[in-house]
Amino acid sequence: MTQRQLHLNLFVYPGGHHEAGWRYHGSDPDRVVDISYYQELARKAEAAKFDALFFADGPALADNIRYASRFRLEPLTTITALAAVTQRIGLIATASTTYSEPYNLARLFASVDHISNGRVGWNIVTTGAAQAAQNFGLDAHPDHGDRYGRAHEFLEVVTKLWDSWQDDALVIDPQTGIFADDDKIHEINHVGAHFRVRGPLNLSRSPQGRPVYVQAGSSEDGRHFAALHAEAIFTAHQNLRNAQDFYADIKARLRGIGRNPDHLKVLPGISPYIGSTTAEAEALHDEFNDLTQPAYSLGVLRRMTGLELSGHDLDGPFPRHLIAPDPDRAEASRFKLVLDIVDREKPTIRQLLHRIAGARGHWVTVGTPEKIADDIQTWFENGAADGFNVMPPWLHGGFDAFVDHVLPILRKRGLFRHDYQGQTLRDHFGLPRPDSLYATETKRSA
């Protein structure tokens, strides 16, 4: 039996994941909307045999833009552009179930899956940022529970649309003049609380059947959603224990509903600061923290916790007692994560700002390539991860360091592939290709 292997995605964030990464001397902030910048990254990640590139997204501009790189290209058009210049690497784009029409979104993803020959994944988000509502004519951002209610139905609709053409619906016989077998193309006739969609899709079934379903929220609603639908889950944990608890919980939920636990890959984020010695790595990390700007960092903290701390002594203790209970926020996974750091580490305000500056609450590791590889291996072999979203502090250099120094160690230990074994993202992740819902129906009635 072959050894279980890591799955690795490159999580592309404009300018890098550290909030001040764009200010680092090795970064290239002027190229954040230049597609050649992403082409280079995609080619590097493909040469390194990464599973996928991943792009986050939200349909609004953040409020806190003055000091940070918050502008970006739209992810679906971007990954399609990258599909044209790569052959094997997976391409995962984020899109919102709260602010998209299911028919339009289903078309876009099906189209990219065709164009990329089966390499697309959809990071399903309900959109946490409240300011998005104001770009879509809503008085208020729907609350957490409502967003997930809509998300469940949204997923049901797009799944039916992706399945509406059976795999063998196309005939394309110029002699007889039959183009498609109408019995294998189905109106979905969906009528639900949020959506009414007739279908079918105007595109035949795509190479992967459906895009890979990715989910990224770790709240109770998010976990429930992931257990039902997701094939990969992107998650943020600060330490092994929390990551193990999450991993065990999610896999147990799958078993509980009769899903194969291997069919959901748990992929925490990891933001590595790599140096040839520990001291060098720590100096690098310090250099990034010195580039942070409190006016920006305090805004990030405000969004995560609701606390406005400008005017406080940054070197004084974090005022834990000021955090008000907020039922909506209490469900948000990132809020819990910050509270957990506060309760465990009792940081000053500045220390907390630095803790979240690296990767917005994701796991930051600092050390030699061996140390980073050890960390990865520990989580991977101790029930905390099936792989990782690699989140370089800055681009491209932060990614180069990982590929050049950490990846060879992981390979030497037999933990990561030397070459792709398949063509599609499902192949890379070891996920089955789903049958069309309607194929099963046809079989049953036959």
Partner 1 sequence: MTTPRRQIKLGAFLMATGHHVASWRHPDAQADGGINVAHYRKVVETAEKAKFDLVFVADSPAGWPRAKDREAQQRSSQGAHFEPLTLWSALSQVTSHIGFVATASTTYEDPYLLARRFASLDHLSGGRAAWNVVTTGADVSHNFQIAGHPAHADRYARAEEFVDLVLDLWDSHEDGAFPRDKDSGIYVDLDRVHQLNHKGTHFSVRGPLNVPRPVQGHPVVVQAGASEPGRRLAARTAEMIFTANQTLEDAQAFYADVKRRLPAYGRSPDQLLIVPGIFPVLGGTEAEAQRNHEEIQNLIHPAIAWEILTRHYQGRDLSGYSLDDRAPPLPESTELNKSRLTLVSDLVSRGNLTLRQLYLAVAGARGHREVVGTPEQIADAMQQWFENGAADAFNIMPPVLPRGLDDFVAEVVPILRRRGLFREEYEGPTLRENLGLQRPENRFAARRGISAAE
Binding-site positions:
57, 94, 144, 148, 218-219
Say if residues 15 and 27 touch (Cβ distance below 8 Å): yes
What residues numbered 98-157 form the site for partner 1, per CB under 8 A? 99-101, 103-104, 107-108, 110-112, 114-115, 131, 134-137
Collapsing DSSP to helix, strand or coil, 166 comes out as coil
Instruction: Please count the residues of this chain forming the interface with partner 1, following the rule CB under 8 A.
Output: 77
Distance of CA 174 to the CA centre of its chain: 43
Minimum separation from the CB atom of position 110 to partner 1 (A): 8
What residues numbered 175-194 form the site for partner 1, per CB under 8 A? 177-182, 185, 194
What residues numbered 23-62 form the site for partner 1, per CB under 8 A? 23-25, 29-30, 33-35, 39, 58-62
**Chosen residue from 197, 233, 250, 364 binding partner 1 by CB under 8 A:** 197
Region of residue 318 (phi > 0: left; psi between -120 and 50: alpha; otherwise: beta): beta
Hey, which residues does 52 pair with through a beta bridge?
Answer: 9, 90
Nearer to partner 1, 179 or 382 (CB): 179
Structure tokens that stand for 426 in this block = 């499902």
Nearer to partner 1, 21 or 222 (CB): 21
Place of tokens 């280079």: 40
Strand pairing report for 232-235 and 387-390: unpaired
**Chosen residue from 54, 165, 213, 438 binding partner 1 by CB under 8 A:** 165
Say if residues 198 and 103 touch (Cβ distance below 8 Å): no
Cite the annotated binding site for FMN by residue number: 57, 94, 144, 148, 218-219
**Chosen residue from 83, 232, 366, 385 binding partner 1 by CB under 8 A:** 83
Structure tokens that stand for 158 in this block = 């797009």
Nearest to 215 by CA among 71, 389, 99: 389
Say if residues 13 and 393 touch (Cβ distance below 8 Å): no
**Chosen residue from 9, 98, 204, 238 binding partner 1 by CB under 8 A:** 204
Verify cis geometry, omega within 30 degrees of 0, for the bond prior to 396.
yes
**Chosen residue from 40, 44, 80, 340 binding partner 1 by CB under 8 A:** 80
Minimum separation from the CB atom of position 435 to partner 1 (A): 19
**Chosen residue from 40, 44, 67, 423 binding partner 1 by CB under 8 A:** 67
The answer to whether 71 contacts partner 1 (rule: CB under 8 A) is yes
Minimum separation from the CB atom of position 227 to partner 1 (A): 28
What residues numbered 359-388 form the site for partner 1, per CB under 8 A? none
Judged on CB neighbours under 10 Å (0-12, 13-18, 19+), 279 is: exposed
Minimum separation from the CB atom of position 339 to partner 1 (A): 29
Nearest to 38 by CA among 61, 72, 88: 72
